[in-house]
Amino acid sequence: MSVSLVLAILVGVLVAGGVVLLLERSLTRVLLGAVLLGNGINVMILTMGGVAKEAPIIGENAQADQNDPLPQVMILTAIVITFAVTAFLLALAYRSWQLQGHDEVQDDVEDRLVATRREAEELEDTGADADLEAAQDARAAVEETASPDDDAAITRDA
């Protein structure tokens, strides 16, 4: 099976660009990265059909000259799916912007609580109800950068 070099390079460029964008923190860039990556993989599947030949229509072209139609069918399905997911991601990015004023992917609050727990525990010796207060402190520290909570989101909706 021979493969077009141009297509192979195109796949490489698209995938590389997609990966770089996917590593960004802004959701819009991640979205563009996913689109690039998806297109790169679609082109790769296209090259798996071998060298380009005539359209696979019976009666129009001799069967030996026809392209393998299966990769194209798969790409069509993949395009439809990627399209739907892209639309969904756009909606997510818009909603994120609506709620927070930006569309950056955020850390998990509980993860950071666990990460800061040691500091919280060191504070524990200072007072009677200290572990709770320390947890409060840790939580407050996290909240400074965390998202506004659900209620704010809902009231803005209402």
Partner 1 sequence: MSTADLVPLPVVLPLLAAGTKFAIGVRWPRLQRAISVGTLTAVLVVAVLLLIAADRHGPQVAAIGGWQPPIGIVLVADRLSALMLAISAAVTLCVLVYSYGQGSADEEEGLPLAVFHPTYLVLAAGISNAFLAGDLFNLYVGFEILLVASYVLITLGGTASRIRSGTTYVIVSLLSSLLFLAAIGLVYGATGTLNLADLALKLRELDPDIRLVLELSLLLAFGIKAAVFPMSAWLPDSYPTAPAPVTAVFAGLLTKVGVYAVIRTETLLFPDDDRVAALLMVIALLTMVVGILGAVAQTDVKRMLSFTLVSHIGYMIFGVALGSQLGLSGAIFYAIHHITIQTTLFLTAGMIERVAGSTSSERIGGLAKTAPLLAILFFLPAMNLAGIPPFSGFIGKVALIEGGVQDGSWLAWTLVAGSVVTSLLTLYAVGKAWSRVFWRSPRVSLPTRDAATGPGTLAGEAAAPGPGPARGGAGEDVSGATIGGRDITRGGRMPRLMTGATAALVVLGLAFTVFAGPLTGVTDRAAVELRDRAGYVRAVAPVALLRTPDGYVIGPPATIPPGFSDSGADDPAPRRTPGPRATPTPGATP
Enumerate binding residues for partner 1 (CB under 8 A). Answer: 1, 22, 27, 30, 34, 37-38, 41, 44-45, 47-48, 62-64, 66, 70-71, 74, 77-78, 81, 84-85, 88-89, 92, 95-96, 99-100, 105-106, 108-111, 114, 132, 135-136, 139-140, 142-143, 146-155, 157-158
| Paired residues of 104 in beta bridges | 26
Residue with smaller CB distance to partner 1, 95 or 119? 95
Structure tokens belonging to residue 96: 């994120």
> In whole angstroms, how close is the CB of 125 to partner 1 at the nearest point?
18
> In whole angstroms, how close is the CB of 103 to partner 1 at the nearest point?
9
For residue 130, give every residue at least 6 positions away whose Cβ sits within 8 Å of its Cβ, in sequence order, or none: 123, 124
Distance CA 123, CA 56 (A): 73
Residue with smaller CB distance to partner 1, 2 or 6? 2
> In whole angstroms, how close is the CB of 123 to partner 1 at the nearest point?
14
Strand, helix or coil for residue 54: strand
- Minimal CA–CA distance to 35: which of 75, 83, 104, 105? 83
Residue with smaller CB distance to partner 1, 120 or 125? 120
Residue with smaller CB distance to partner 1, 125 or 150? 150
| Paired residues of 106 in beta bridges | none
| Contact assessment for residue 112 and residue 142, using Cβ atoms and an 8 Å cutoff | yes
